[in-house]
Amino acid sequence: MDSGLVTGVRRFNRTVTQRIGALDDAFLARARPLGEARVLWEIGTAGCDVRELRERLDLDSGYLSRLLRGLERDGLVRVGPSPADGRVRTARLTEAGRAERAALDRLSDDAAAALLAPLSAGQRTRLVAAMAEVERLLTASAVTVAPCPPAHPNARHCLDAYFAELARRFDDGFDPARSISAADAEMTPPAGVLLVATLHGEPVGCGALKVRDGALAEVKRMWVAPSARGLGLGRRLLAELEAYAAGLGVRTLRLETNRALDEAIGLYKAAGYREVPSFNDEHYADHWFEKHLPGPRTLA
C-alpha cells in the first residue's frame, strides 16, 4: 500500500475525531462518551436486537455488552428477551433513554450547524458534498466479498432477490426453469463458485462462476442490492470472479444478459467484455459477451 495514502487517511482520522468531539469523555457535554451515545441512538425508538446492533456497528460482543450495561445502570436502556423469539436479546430505550436520545439529536444538530457556521455558502456546499463522497467510499470499503455455499441463508437471500428483480424488470417476467441452469452444484467448487457480498453482516450482492471446461467459464447470477448500488460493488464482484477464474486456468469468460438491464450492459462493456454472436439458446438473453483473460506470465 502506498505510504502516502496511508498517511493521508491517518491525518484525516485525527482531524475528524478531534473536530467531532470523539476524544471527549462527555460527548456533546453529556455524561457519557461517544460510544455510549452512538449505541443509544442506534437502538432507536423501536428497539434493536443486540446481534443486529453489534453487526451494524461492527463492535466486539464484549465491548457492546459493557456499553449496554453502562446504559442500563443509568436507567436509559433495558435488555431482555425479544417478544418474537425468546432466544434473541433485544435492547429498548426507557422513557429516560428516549428523552436522552432526543437531547442528543438536538445537540448533534447544533454541533453540525456550529461546524458549518464559520464557512462561506460555497464552502458549506463543498464540505457536505465531500462528506457524502467520503461516506460512500467508507461504506464501499466496509463490504466483504467471499465464497459462500449456495444453500447458505445469505446466498439464498441474494438469489431470491435476483430472481424477483428479473421478474419485475423483464418484459415477459422471469422463470428460472426456462433459463439456462446455474444450480447449486454448478456454483460449488470445483464446478464453480458463488461469491456473496455482505455489509455489516447483511447480504448485499452476489455473482457466480460456472466452469464449462478447463479454459471456459460463464459468469452468472450477478446482482447488487439497491441499497448498495453506487458503491462499485458490481465491478468488484466481477473482478473477483475474473481473478478466481484465472486461478483455475480459465482463459475465456462468457455471459449473456437481457436488454432491460442497461446498467449491467454498461458494466460489462466498461470491464472489457466485447459483444459477440449468441453462443447459447438462453430464453431471456438479448446480448452475449465474452472476455479473454491474460495467461500466466512467463520469464523471458
The pLDDT profile of the chain, 300 residues, written as one tens digit per residue, is 788 889 988 898 888 888 887 878 778 878 888 889 999 999 998 899 999 899 888 888 899 999 999 999 999 999 998 887 778 899 999 999 999 999 999 999 999 999 999 999 999 999 999 999 999 999 999 999 999 999 999 999 999 999 999 999 999 899 999 999 899 999 999 999 999 999 988 999 999 999 988 799 999 999 999 999 999 999 999 999 999 999 999 999 999 999 999 999 999 999 999 999 999 999 999 999 999 998 765 445
What percentage of the chain's residues is helix, strand, coil (to nearest 5)?
50, 20, 30
The whole-model pTM stands at 0.84
CA distances from residue 236 to 1, 58, 229, 295 in whole angstroms, order as listed: 18, 22, 12, 21
CA-to-CA separations, 158 to 112, 187, 274, in angstroms, rounded: 37, 14, 27
Residue 46 parent element (H or E): none
And the C-alpha cell for 300?
Answer: 523471458
Type of residue at 122:
G
How far apart, in whole angstroms, are the C-alpha atoms of residue 175 and residue 80?
A: 44
CA 226 to CA 116: how far, in whole Å? Answer: 31
DSSP per-residue codes, 195-253? EEEEETTEEEEEEEEEEEETTEEEEEEEEE-GGGTTSSHHHHHHHHHHHHHHHTT--EE
Taking the C-alpha atoms of residue 102 and residue 106, their distance in angstroms, rounded to an integer, is 6
Nine cell digits for residue 182: 446455474
